[in-house]
Amino acid sequence: MHPLNRRGFLGLTAGLSIAALTGCGTQTPTSAASAPRDGGRLRAAFAGGGAKEVLDPHLANLFVEAARSKALYDKLADLGPDVSAQPRLAEKWEPDATLTRWRITLRQATFHDGRPVRAEDVLASYARILDPNRAFRAKSSLAVIDLANSRAVDERTVEFALQRPFVEFPNVLAAFGAYVVPAGTEDFTSPVGSGPFRFVSFEPGKSVLLKRHGEYWEGAPHLDELEFVIANEESARTNALLGGQVEYAHDLTPTTARGHEAGGRMAIHRAPNSAVQAFAMKLDRPPFDNRDLREALFLLADRPQLVESVLAGSGQVGNDLFGKGYQHYADDIPQRTRDLDRAKFLIRRAGAEGLTVKLDTSTAAAGMVEAATVFADQVKGSGLTIEVVTGNKDSYWSDTLKNGSLSSFRSGAMPIETHVAQRLLSGSGTNVTKWARPEFDALYDRAVSTVDAGRRDEVYREMQRSLHAEGGYLMWGFADWIVGAAPNVGGISTAPANTLDWARFDKVWLG
C-alpha cells in the first residue's frame, strides 16, 4: 500500500537497532534489498507441537501458533520495537481521568468473510478468554477488565471498565493471545479472522496454508501465499532452507548462524534483546534469603564469557534487569562486572564458605544447561560450589516454580510492566524468585496509576534499582533471536521476538 514509507520505516528501525544494540554489523541480503515485489508463496519452517497444535488463537502457546495467529487475526494493540504497546485494530485509546474507564475506537477493518469488525466482536472475544471455566493464556492479563460494566458504545467504539486504575491498559490489549475473533466463534477448523492472510488448509503437525487477504486494513501483503511447515529439529530446518525446500527457517542456533553467514546460501537475521537468560535465586529460603550471597553470585558471573560461550557471541550482556532496550528500562544503572575478591568476602561474611548449592536446569530452553555448566565453573574458587542438576524438560517450568533454591531461567520479550506484574508482585502467579515486598508492590501500584509519563518512568527506575540491588534474578545476557531466510527474501524485521514485527509475513516479499 505504501511501500516507500514502509520500507523506509523498516530500514530505519533495523539500522537503528543494529547500531544501538549490537554495535557490530549484521549482514542484510543484498539481492533482496531491491524494491518489494508482489506474488509468490513463502514456505516458513517452525518447530511445532504435533498434538498440541491448534488454530484457536486464544489457545496459542507455541511460536508457530503465535506466528500463525498473527497472520490470521489481529489484536487491538501489539508490541513495537521498544516493546511498548502500539495501536493495531484499535485506532486509538483514551482513558478517563480515573484511569478506570477506557474508550477504544476501532479501525475500519473487515473479517475474511466480509463482515466488519465490530465492538461486539471485541467484547465477545474478551469474554471468551475470561470464561471462568477455561484456562486461556491471556486470561490473567485480561483479569483487570470488569467485563460486566464494559459496553459497546457503537459499532466501532468499546468502553472498557477496569477493576482498578491502570495506565498500562494498552499492554493488556497487546497481551499474548488476546486476538479478536468474530463473536460466537467456537469452531476453528476453518478459522475466520481480520488478519493479513486468510485460511486455506490445515494439517496438524504438518502444514498450514494461507493466502493473501486483499482487503487487509493495513494494505494487502506482498505474498500471494504463505505456508507454515513443521520441522522440530533445528538441523532439519537449516537443511530444508539450504536445500531450497523452505524460504524461512525460524529459531536457528548461533552456531548455525556462524557457519552459514558467509556462505551466501542463507541470509541470517538477528533480533537483539529477544530472550533474557538468567539464573533465579529464591528469596524465601536458605541460602539465598541472605542478601550477601545473592550479591556474591551477581559478582561471580563473568557475563561476557557466558555470552561468548553459551550464546556463541549472538547476544549482549545483561545487568540483572529485565528488558534491555525496552521502554522504561533503567539504562543508567552501572553495569555489573565480575569481582571475585568482593564475592569471596561476601561469602565469608555470610558464613557460607564450603557450601554446595544445587542449580536446577534442563533442556526446556536452548542454552540453559550450557549456561549452568559454565557458571558452575566460574564460581569455582569462591568458597561456594555449584552442582548442576538437569531435570525433566517437560515439567521444568512448573517444578522450578516450587522446588529448589537456584535454577535456570529464560523469558521472551514482554513489557517491563507485564514482567513485574506476572513475576515480581506478592500475588504473582509465576513468582520464581519469591520476591515479595509490600513496598515494591506499592511502587508498582503507583507506577500503573501515574498518568504523567516522566514521573511514571521514574517509579519504574526506582523499582529496577531495588531489583538490581537485592533481587533474585541474575540476568546475565540477552540472546539474539536468529532466523535464516533465502537470500531473495526481503522485509524481515529485527524487532525482538514476540513483538509485532517478529515473524510478520505481511511485510515480507520474495525478490
Partner 1 sequence: MSLRRYAARRLALGLVQVLAVVTVVFLLVQALPGDAAVALAGDNPDPKRIEQIRVAMGLDRPPLERFGDWVAGLARGDFGVSLISGRPVVEFLHDGLGPTLVLAALALVLLIPLSVLLGVLAALREGGPLDRAVTTVTVGLHSIPEFALAVVLIALFGVQLRWLPPTAVGADLLGQPAVLVLPLVVLVARPLCSISRLVRAGMIDALASDHVRHARRLGIGVTRVRFAHALPTALAPAVQQVARTTDWLLGGVIVVEAVFVIPGLGTILVDAVAGRDLPVVQGLAVVFAVTTVVVNLVADLLVFRLAPRSVAIA
207 is an interface residue for partner 1 by CB under 8 A:
yes
429 is an interface residue for partner 1 by CB under 8 A:
yes
Question: 179-180 and 74-75: which strand pairing?
Answer: antiparallel
Nearest distance from residue 204's CB to partner 1, in Å?
A: 7
Task: Give the interface segment with partner 1, choosing from 4-12, 205-213, 290-298, 438-446 (CB under 8 A).
Answer: 205-213
User: What is the end-to-end Cα distance of the chain in Å, rounded?
Assistant: 17
Cell numbers found for residue 410: 529464560
410 is an interface residue for partner 1 by CB under 8 A:
yes
Nearest distance from residue 440's CB to partner 1, in Å?
A: 20
Select from 135, 148, 354, 438 the one that contacts partner 1 (CB under 8 A): 135
Q: Which is nearer to partner 1, 368 or 386 (CB)?
A: 368
115 is an interface residue for partner 1 by CB under 8 A:
no
Nearest distance from residue 209's CB to partner 1, in Å?
A: 9
Alpha-carbon span 257 to 248, nearest angstrom? 13
Task: Give the interface segment with partner 1, choosing from 99-107, 130-138, 280-288, 319-327 (CB under 8 A).
Answer: 130-138
236 is an interface residue for partner 1 by CB under 8 A:
yes
Q: Which is nearer to partner 1, 172 or 352 (CB)?
A: 172
464 Cα distance to chain centroid: 19
Q: Which is nearer to partner 1, 423 or 468 (CB)?
A: 423
**Whether 182 contacts 57, CB under 8 Å:** no
Nearest distance from residue 339's CB to partner 1, in Å?
A: 32
Q: Which is nearer to partner 1, 54 or 379 (CB)?
A: 54
- 144-150-154-155 Cα dihedral, nearest 10 degrees: 50
Nearest distance from residue 134's CB to partner 1, in Å?
A: 6
Alpha-carbon span 150 to 102, nearest angstrom? 9
Q: Which is nearer to partner 1, 121 or 251 (CB)?
A: 251
Nearest residue to 167 via CA among 502, 447, 386: 447
Task: Give the interface segment with partner 1, choosing from 92-100, 157-165, 222-230, 455-463 (CB under 8 A).
Answer: 222-230
Task: Give the interface segment with partner 1, choosing from 15-23, 152-160, 241-249, 330-338 (CB under 8 A).
Answer: 241-249
Distances (CA, A) of 31 to 176, 222, 282, 509, 510: 34, 17, 50, 12, 10
Distances (CA, A) of 492 to 103, 248, 271, 329, 459: 34, 10, 10, 26, 35
235 is an interface residue for partner 1 by CB under 8 A:
yes
240 is an interface residue for partner 1 by CB under 8 A:
yes
Select from 337, 385, 398, 426 the one that contacts partner 1 (CB under 8 A): 398
Q: Which is nearer to partner 1, 265 or 349 (CB)?
A: 265
Q: What angle do CA 375, 386, 378 make, to 5 degrees?
A: 30
Q: How many residues of this chain bind partner 1 (CB under 8 A)?
A: 48
Burial code of 314-331, b = ≥16 C-beta within 10 A, e = fewer?
bbbbbbbbbbbbbbbbbe
Nearest distance from residue 184's CB to partner 1, in Å?
A: 19
Q: Which is nearer to partner 1, 207 or 449 (CB)?
A: 207
Task: Give the interface segment with partner 1, choosing from 109-117, 232-240, 324-332, 346-354 (CB under 8 A).
Answer: 232-240
163 is an interface residue for partner 1 by CB under 8 A:
no
Alpha-carbon span 42 to 481, nearest angstrom? 20
Select from 358, 363, 397, 441 the one that contacts partner 1 (CB under 8 A): 397
Q: Which is nearer to partner 1, 339 or 399 (CB)?
A: 399
Alpha-carbon span 156 to 120, nearest angstrom? 9
Alpha-carbon span 463 to 440, nearest angstrom? 7
Residue 485 has phi, psi (to 5 degrees) of: -145, 160
**Whether 447 contacts 464, CB under 8 Å:** no
Select from 94, 154, 233, 387 the one that contacts partner 1 (CB under 8 A): 233
Window 374-393: residues binding partner 1 (CB under 8 A):
391-392
H/E segment holding residue 152: strand 145-154
286 is an interface residue for partner 1 by CB under 8 A:
no
Where residue 244 falls (left for φ over 0; alpha for ψ -120 to 50; beta otherwise) is: left
204 is an interface residue for partner 1 by CB under 8 A:
yes
Select from 20, 430, 451, 455 the one that contacts partner 1 (CB under 8 A): 430
Contacts 24+ apart (CB under 8 A), 29-32: 29/267, 29/485, 29/487, 29/488, 29/489, 29/490, 30/487, 31/487, 31/488, 31/511, 32/267, 32/487, 32/488, 32/489, 32/490, 32/491, 32/509, 32/511
Alpha-carbon span 205 to 221, nearest angstrom? 25
Window 15-54: residues binding partner 1 (CB under 8 A):
43, 45, 49-54
DSSP tag of 50: G
Select from 203, 284, 353, 387 the one that contacts partner 1 (CB under 8 A): 203
Helices of type H across 41-138 = 63-72, 119-130
Q: Which is nearer to partner 1, 1 or 135 (CB)?
A: 135
* Binding footprint of partner 1 on the chain (CB under 8 A): 43, 45, 49-54, 61, 133-135, 137, 139-140, 203-207, 227, 229-233, 235-236, 239-240, 242-243, 245-246, 364-365, 391-392, 394-395, 397-399, 401, 410-411, 429-430
